[in-house]
Amino acid sequence: MDLSKVDEIIDRHEGERGSLIPILQDIQDVFGYLPKEALERVSRRLKIPMSRVFGVVTFYSQFYLQPRGRHTIKLCMGTACHVRGAPRVLQRIKEVLGIDEGETTPDLKFTLEIVRCLGTCFLAPVMMIDNNYYGKLTPQRVERILKEYG
């Protein structure tokens, strides 16, 4: 792993107070997630114990410790979506992609997340892929939609 980018980011924030979070954000912008080696470098150079760095990373849901897919699927399992068949849609997504919720496909194409309500219950069951909404899902339709992201 090329840690020179991490060093550049840390240098850029040198002398700033409360720079840990902006540094972590910049590192994630570069790598797409927070590699362990990068966190160790931050810990060493900022003289902040690794346990504290980890504490911050795991506290904020914007930070990721694993590589992310190029597309993020957010499938709603809120009440309205649940009663209208979201569990079957989820099952099909898992079968097609071969991953569980919270996981990323090995080809780094998709990351699958479960959310509680997307605020579009009238479209239930609904999911988002990146910024696009897909409503009135069925297992068949979701499979077709996933194929569109070739």
Shortest distance, position 120 Cβ to ligand FES, whole Å: 5
Contact predicate 86/134, CB 8 Å: no
Name the residue nearer to ligand FES (CB basis): 32 or 135.
Answer: 135
Closer residue to ligand FES, CB minimum distance, 42 or 76: 76
Which of 138, 129, 141 is CA-nearest to residue 84?
Answer: 138
Looking at the DSSP bridge assignments, the partners of residue 75 are 114, 127
Q: How far is the CB of 128 from ligand FES (least distance, A)?
A: 10
Q: Using CA atoms, how far apart are residues 101 and 83, in angstroms rounded to an integer?
A: 19
| Residue type at position 29 | D
Residue 2, Ramachandran bin (φ over 0: left; ψ between -120 and 50: alpha; else beta): beta
Find the shortest distance in angstroms from Cβ 73 to ligand FES. Answer: 14
Closer CB to ligand FES, 58 or 138, in the complex? 138
Contact set with ligand FES (CB under 6 A) = 76, 78-81, 117-118, 120-121, 124, 126
CB-nearer residue toward ligand FES: 24 or 134: 134
Q: Are strands 110-115 and 127-129 parallel, antiparallel or unpaired?
A: unpaired
Cα end-to-end span (Å), the chain? 28
- Residue 82 CB, nearest approach to ligand FES (Å): 7
